[in-house]
Structure 1
Amino acid sequence: MKNHILKFFGRFTLKLSVIFILIFVSCSKEKDSNETTENLANIDSDDIVISLEGALQISDFVWKGLNQYYYWQEQVSDLNDRKALNASEYAKYINNNPEPEEFFESLKHENDRFSYITADYVALQNQLQGIVASNGVEFGLSLMSDGQSVFGYVRYIHKNSDASDKNIERGDIFTAVDGQDLNVNNYQDLLYGDNLTYTLHMADISENTITSNGETVELTKVENFEKNSIQINKVLNISDKKIGYLMYTQFVNTFNNDLNDIFGNFKSEGISDLVLDLRYNAGGSLTACVYLASLITGQFTGEIFSQQIWNSKLMDYWNNNNPESLKDLFVDQMADGTILNSLNLNKIYILTTGRSASASELLINGLASHIDIIQIGDTTYGKNVGSITVYDYIDNDGTKNPDHTYAMQPIVLKIANSAGFADYDSGLDATVELKEDISNMGVLGEISEPLLSSAINQITGSGKKDTKAVMPIENIIDNIREKHLQTIIIDNRKPFIK
Structure 2
Amino acid sequence: MLVSVTSCFEDADDNIIRASTLDINDFVWKGMNAVYVYKDNIPDLANDRFDSSETYTEYLNNFSSPEDLFEDLLYLPDDVDEFSRIYPNYYDLEQLLQGTSLSNGMKYGLVQLPNAANDIIGYVRYVLPNSDAASKGITRGMIFNTIDGTTLTSSNYGNLLSSTSYTVGWANYDNNGTPETRTDDIITSNGESVSITKTEYTENPILTHNVFNIDGNSIGYLMYNGFRIGDANLNELNAVFAEFQSSGVSDLVLDLRYNGGGSVSTAIWLSSMITGQNTGDIFFKEKWNSEIQAAREQDDPESLINRFVDEMVKRNTNNEITYQQPINSLNLNKVYIITTGSSASASELVINGLSSHIEVVQIGSTTRGKPQASVTIYDSENLGRENANPNHTYAMQPLIYEAENSAGFSSYYNGIDPTEGFGITELYEDLGQLGDVNERLLAEAIADITGFGRSAISAQRPLKHLDQKNIENPFLYDMVDDRPLNKNFLQP
Q: Could you say which TM-score interval applies, normalised by the shorter chain?
A: 0.7 to 0.9
Residue 295 (str. 1) matches residue 273 (str. 2): yes
Cα distance change of structure 1 residues 394 and 365 upon mapping to structure 2, 3 Å threshold: closer
Q: Tell me which residue corresponds to 1:213.
A: 190
Q: Tell me which residue corresponds to 1:479.
A: 468
Are the counterparts in 2 of residues 51 and 91 from structure 1 also a CA contact under 8 Å? no
How much does 1:475 deviate?
1.0
What does residue range 7-46 of structure 1 map to in structure 2 within 5 Å?
A: none
Q: 1:339 is matched with which residue: 305, 308, 326? A: 326
Are the counterparts in 1 of residues 21 and 66 from structure 2 also a CA contact under 8 Å? no
Q: 1:148 is matched with which residue: 113, 118, 123? A: 118
Q: Tell me which residue corresponds to 2:66.
A: 100
Are the counterparts in 1 of residues 221 and 435 from structure 2 also a CA contact under 8 Å? yes
Distance 1:320 1:456 in 2: 48
Letter of the 1:434 partner, please give it.
I
Q: 1:77 is matched with which residue: 35, 43, 46? A: 43
Residue 392 (str. 1) matches residue 384 (str. 2): no
Residue 361 (str. 1) matches residue 348 (str. 2): yes
Residue 271 (str. 1) matches residue 253 (str. 2): no
Q: Tell me which residue corresponds to 2:88.
A: 119
Are the counterparts in 1 of residues 377 and 385 from structure 2 also a CA contact under 8 Å? no
RCO comparison, higher one (Cα < 8 Å, 6+): 1
Distance 2:210 2:360 in 1: 20
**Corresponding residue SS for 1:480:** coil
Q: Normalized against structure 1, the TM-score is what?
A: 0.86
Identity across matched positions, percent? 44
What does residue range 127-146 of structure 1 map to in structure 2 within 5 Å?
A: 127-145=96-114, 146=116
Are the counterparts in 2 of residues 231 and 249 from structure 1 also a CA contact under 8 Å? yes
- Which residues of structure 2 form unaligned runs of 5+? 6-18, 177-184, 314-322
Are the counterparts in 2 of residues 349 and 376 from structure 1 also a CA contact under 8 Å? yes
How much does 1:473 deviate?
4.5
Q: How much is the aligned-residue C-alpha RMSD, in angstroms? A: 1.9
How much does 1:214 deviate?
0.6
What does residue range 483-494 of structure 1 map to in structure 2 within 5 Å?
A: 484-493=475-484, 494=486
Residue 377 (str. 1) matches residue 368 (str. 2): no
Q: Residue deviations 1:48-97, cap 9 Å, x none?
A: 46679712112211111111111111111111111244111111111112
How much does 1:469 deviate?
5.0
Distance 1:355 1:473 in 2: 14
Q: Tell me which residue corresponds to 1:236.
A: 212
Distance 2:327 2:2 in 1: 59
Q: Tell me which residue corresponds to 1:404.
A: 392
Q: Tell me which residue corresponds to 1:313.
A: 291
Which range is displaced more, 399-408 or 289-298? 399-408
Letter of the 1:257 partner, please give it.
N
Are the counterparts in 1 of residues 105 and 133 from structure 2 also a CA contact under 8 Å? yes
Letter of the 1:250 partner, please give it.
G
How much does 1:483 deviate?
5.3
Are the counterparts in 1 of residues 469 and 477 from structure 2 also a CA contact under 8 Å? no
Q: Tell me which residue corresponds to 2:412.
A: 424
Which range is displaced more, 94-103 or 360-369? 94-103
Which range is displaced more, 406-415 or 338-347? 406-415
Residue 227 (str. 1) matches residue 227 (str. 2): no
How much does 1:325 deviate?
1.4
How much does 1:185 deviate?
2.4
**Corresponding residue SS for 1:433:** coil
- Which residues of structure 1 form unaligned runs of 5+? 1-47
Cα distance change of structure 1 residues 177 and 50 upon mapping to structure 2, 3 Å threshold: closer
Q: Tell me which residue corresponds to 1:455.
A: 445
Are the counterparts in 1 of residues 4 and 21 from structure 2 also a CA contact under 8 Å? no
Letter of the 1:283 partner, please give it.
G
Residue 57 (str. 1) matches residue 19 (str. 2): no
Are the counterparts in 2 of residues 143 and 149 from structure 1 also a CA contact under 8 Å? yes
Cα distance change of structure 1 residues 192 and 394 upon mapping to structure 2, 3 Å threshold: farther
Q: Residue deviations 1:367-411, cap 9 Å, x none?
A: 001000000000111111122222223788823333332222222
How much does 1:137 deviate?
0.9
Are the counterparts in 2 of residues 376 and 430 from structure 1 also a CA contact under 8 Å? yes
Which range is displaced more, 334-343 or 389-398? 389-398
How much does 1:449 deviate?
0.3
Letter of the 2:469 partner, please give it.
I
Distance 1:49 1:444 in 2: 59
Residue 253 (str. 1) matches residue 233 (str. 2): no
Residue 466 (str. 1) matches residue 451 (str. 2): no
Q: Tell me which residue corresponds to 1:30.
A: none
Are the counterparts in 2 of residues 450 and 466 from structure 1 also a CA contact under 8 Å? no
Q: Tell me which residue corresponds to 1:304.
A: 282
Cα distance change of structure 1 residues 397 and 149 upon mapping to structure 2, 3 Å threshold: closer
Q: 1:190 is matched with which residue: 128, 152, 160? A: 160
Q: Tell me which residue corresponds to 2:435.
A: 445
Are the counterparts in 2 of residues 50 and 88 from structure 1 also a CA contact under 8 Å? no
Letter of the 2:357 partner, please give it.
H
How much does 1:488 deviate?
1.9
How much does 1:162 deviate?
1.5
Distance 2:70 2:324 in 1: 41
Distance 1:67 1:153 in 2: 42
Q: 2:487 is matched with which residue: 478, 492, 495? A: 495
How much does 1:170 deviate?
0.7
Which range is displaced more, 151-160 or 111-120? 111-120
Q: Tell me which residue corresponds to 2:262.
A: 284
Letter of the 1:205 partner, please give it.
Y
Distance 2:51 2:354 in 1: 45
Q: Residue deviations 1:317-358, cap 9 Å, x none?
A: 222332211111111112144221110000000000011000
